[in-house]
Amino acid sequence: MINIIRVKDYEEASDKAFEVMKDFLKPGKVLGLATGSTPLGLYARMVKDHEENKTSYADIRSFNLDEYVGLPISHPESYYAFMHRNLFDKIDIKEENAHVPSGLGDDLEAQAKKYDAMIDESPVDIQLLGIGSDGHIAFNEPGTPFNSGTHVTDLAESTIKDNCRFFDNDISKVPTQAVTQGIGTIMKARNILLIATGANKAQAVKDMIEGPIDEACPASVLQRHPNVTVIVDEAAAALLK
């Protein structure tokens, strides 16, 4: 069941997302975290809440969705660096509890299997998601099987273009592959919170909510999940009935 919350703009979306997330910022909880521009407002609110209200992450664990293949973790656009810069370094989560899949190593598929095994041992209480303009969730591009586990994937041409802005607008600098939690992995989360803002997400939002459940729109699988909240701003909701 998809519960849709409509808000005015990005700031309101971030406020609402924090309200939902707040219930899960408790000892023992497992958070599923995401990268991209979308969660930045939420992360800023989590940091502020940690500073002002002393909300502690000392007994919270997290699993990130994805990572580029081949970028060293010291690269500012690696998702490892992104998470540390925007969240982990500003709260008291323990380094060993904040998991980001690795895009480096000799056997990425074996590492991916281990990542899924770790998640199976610590099921995710709430998975935060953004959505790609092509309907992808994490880096599960159109056509990815709904039962997929964590795996290595090629990025769609449109995703490479979308993410170019993080790499000096130089398409040749954007990695072409990523390690990503699979759609099956994401669907195991007990709750899912997806945020979509801006006009370039409007078609993907419509396909996710009103379209057929079809691998052509990876996010449409969420219609099958029992507990999904989608926060959409006016621009992203523009094509909804």
Report if residue 231 touches ligand GLP, rule: CB under 6 A.
Answer: no
DSSP assignment letter at 105: S
The Cα–Cα gap between 152 and 2 comes to 28
Report if residue 132 touches ligand GLP, rule: CB under 6 A.
Answer: yes
Among 25, 33, 41, 66, binds ligand GLP (CB under 6 A): 66
Distance in Å, CB of 71 to ligand GLP, minimum: 13
Report if residue 64 touches ligand GLP, rule: CB under 6 A.
Answer: no
Report which of 62, 73, 70 is spatially closest to residue 39, judged by C-alpha positions: 62
Distance in Å, CB of 160 to ligand GLP, minimum: 9
Q: Closer to ligand GLP at the Cβ: 30 or 131?
A: 131
Report if residue 34 touches ligand GLP, rule: CB under 6 A.
Answer: yes
Among 30, 65, 208, 222, binds ligand GLP (CB under 6 A): 65
Distance in Å, CB of 36 to ligand GLP, minimum: 3
Q: Closer to ligand GLP at the Cβ: 13 or 60?
A: 13
The Cα–Cα gap between 7 and 237 comes to 9
Name the token pair of 136: 């992808």
| 68 beta partners | 178
50 is catalytic: no
Q: Three-class SS of residue 100?
A: coil
66 is catalytic: yes
Q: Is the Cβ–Cβ distance between 25 and 46 less than 8 Å?
A: yes
Write down the number of H helices and E strands in the chain: 7, 10
Report if residue 38 touches ligand GLP, rule: CB under 6 A.
Answer: yes
Among 7, 138, 205, 208, binds ligand GLP (CB under 6 A): 138
Q: Where are the beta strands (DSSP E) in 162-222?
A: 177-180, 191-196
Among 43, 115, 139, 167, binds ligand GLP (CB under 6 A): 139
Name the token pair of 22: 């707040």
120 is catalytic: no
Element (H, E) at 162: helix 157-163
Restricted to residues 152-191, the positions that interact with ligand GLP (CB under 6 A) are 159, 163
Q: Helix 10-22 vs helix 40-53: angle between axes, to the nearest 10 degrees?
A: 50
23 is catalytic: no
Residues that bind ligand GLP (CB under 6 A): 34-38, 65-66, 130-132, 138-139, 159, 163
What positions carry a catalytic annotation? 66, 134, 136, 141
